[in-house]
Structure 1
Amino acid sequence: MKIYLLIICFFYGLQGFCQASASASVNTRVSVIDPIKINKTLDLNFGNVISSYNPGSLILTPDGTRTANGVQISSSMPGDVSPAEAIVVHGNNSYSINLPDSFILYNQDNPNQILIINQFVVEPTAGTTAGTDILKIGATLNLEANQLSGFYTNTGGFNVTVSYN
């Protein structure tokens, strides 16, 4: 019986020496990267288009090719034609590109007359410097039947947003 009493006293005595807390050292690190940058180098220019008695569209691809649907384009008087272009500086990081669903152009002489641009298409290609890309942007220009002639623009421009993933 003494042995049992001795064992019980021994275990109760150890309870006073039990560990009540513990700690560990945690190292901290951070890698600061440069912010993503975008700079426009060319505006989106559809060139000259000839209105029709029916609605139509003009597709401008990122490589600068124009395709007319229900409207006409003149090869002898194309006007200024260029897809939009921007340079993105992103380092070795991946990113996403956001474009608007649509954009409105206003007739310079009659602001009640509008054209709608939609179906934006973007093609990024590697730039000449590591960590840069060149974005070429095309879209579809939609014309109403008997669209009023004139110069259509929107000086506010549309936003091309790039964000790190």
Structure 2
Amino acid sequence: MNRIIFILFLLLSSQAFSQASASAKVTSRATIIDPIRIDKTLDLDFGNVISSYNPGSVILSPDGSRTAQGVQISTNFPGTVNPAEAVVIHGNNNYAITLPESFVLYNSQNPDQQLRVNNFTVLPEEGTISDIIKVGATLHLKANQASGFYTNSAGFNVTVSYN
């Protein structure tokens, strides 16, 4: 009987001393990438536009071409015409571009006179660690839009962020 109790004790004590935890060694790593950066090189300029008795618009494409609808654009005196341009430095990482829904330009002599800019379009010229992006948009004129220089010194944001 003592022998049975001793064997039971050995069996129970071996279970009591069995492994209750385990561990593994884990190493860790991190890769630091450069922050994304954008540097403006050109502002968005629609050039000279001739007002009309009707409302109209000028579409400035990212490639720099202009299309007039309901208004005229001056071919003899085009003024400064260029899409906005910026250099995006992104390493070799994917990114997204965010533009405003719309933007307002104000007549420098009469701030009550305004032009709305919307329908922004982007054309990236892709590189490996940096891209040149060109931004076009649509400029909307009211019927008999007052002549003058229209601008908005606050500008608008072109935001880039890693995906």
Whether the TM-score (by the shorter chain) exceeds 0.5 is yes
- CA distance, structure 2, for counterparts of residue 83 and residue 37 of structure 1: 19
SS of 1:8's partner is helix
- Aligned equivalents of 2:85, 2:79: Cα separation in 1: 18
In the TM superposition, residue 16 of structure 1 has moved relative to its aligned partner by 2.7
1:123 counterpart SS class: strand
Unaligned runs of 5+ in 2: none
* 1:93 Cα deviation from its structure 2 partner: 0.4
Q: What is the distance in 2 between the residues matched to 1:92 and 1:50?
A: 44
Aligned to 2:66: 66
1:9 partner SS: helix
In the alignment, which residue of structure 2 is the partner of 1:101? 101
Aligned to 1:80: 80
Superposed counterparts of 1:25-36, under 5 Å: 25-36=25-36
- Give 1:13 shift: 1.5
**Offset at 1:70?**
0.4
Map residues 1-165 of structure 1 onto 2, 5 A cutoff. 5=5, 7-127=7-127, 130-165=128-163
Per mean C-alpha deviation after superposition, the further-off stretch among 31-40 and 1-10 is 1-10
Between the aligned partners of 1:3 and 1:88, the Cα distance in structure 2 is 83
Tell me by how many angstroms 1:108 deviates.
0.1
Aligned equivalents of 1:126 and 1:164: distance in 2?
15
Q: CA deviation at 1:7?
A: 4.7
Residues 2-53 of structure 1 show CA distances to partners (whole Å, capped at 9, x for unaligned) of: 7765553332121231223222211010000000010000000000001011
**Structure 2: distance between partners of 1:70 and 1:3:** 109
Residue 74 of structure 1 and its aligned partner are, at CA, apart by: 1.5
Identity of paired residues, percent?
63
2:152 is aligned with what amino acid? N
Query: Distance in 2 between the 1:140 and 1:2 partners?
Result: 99
Secondary structure of 1:15's partner? helix
SS in 2 for 1:159: coil
Gaps of 5+ in 1: none
User: How far is the alpha carbon of 1:134 from its aligned partner?
Assistant: 0.3
TM-score by length of 2: 0.94
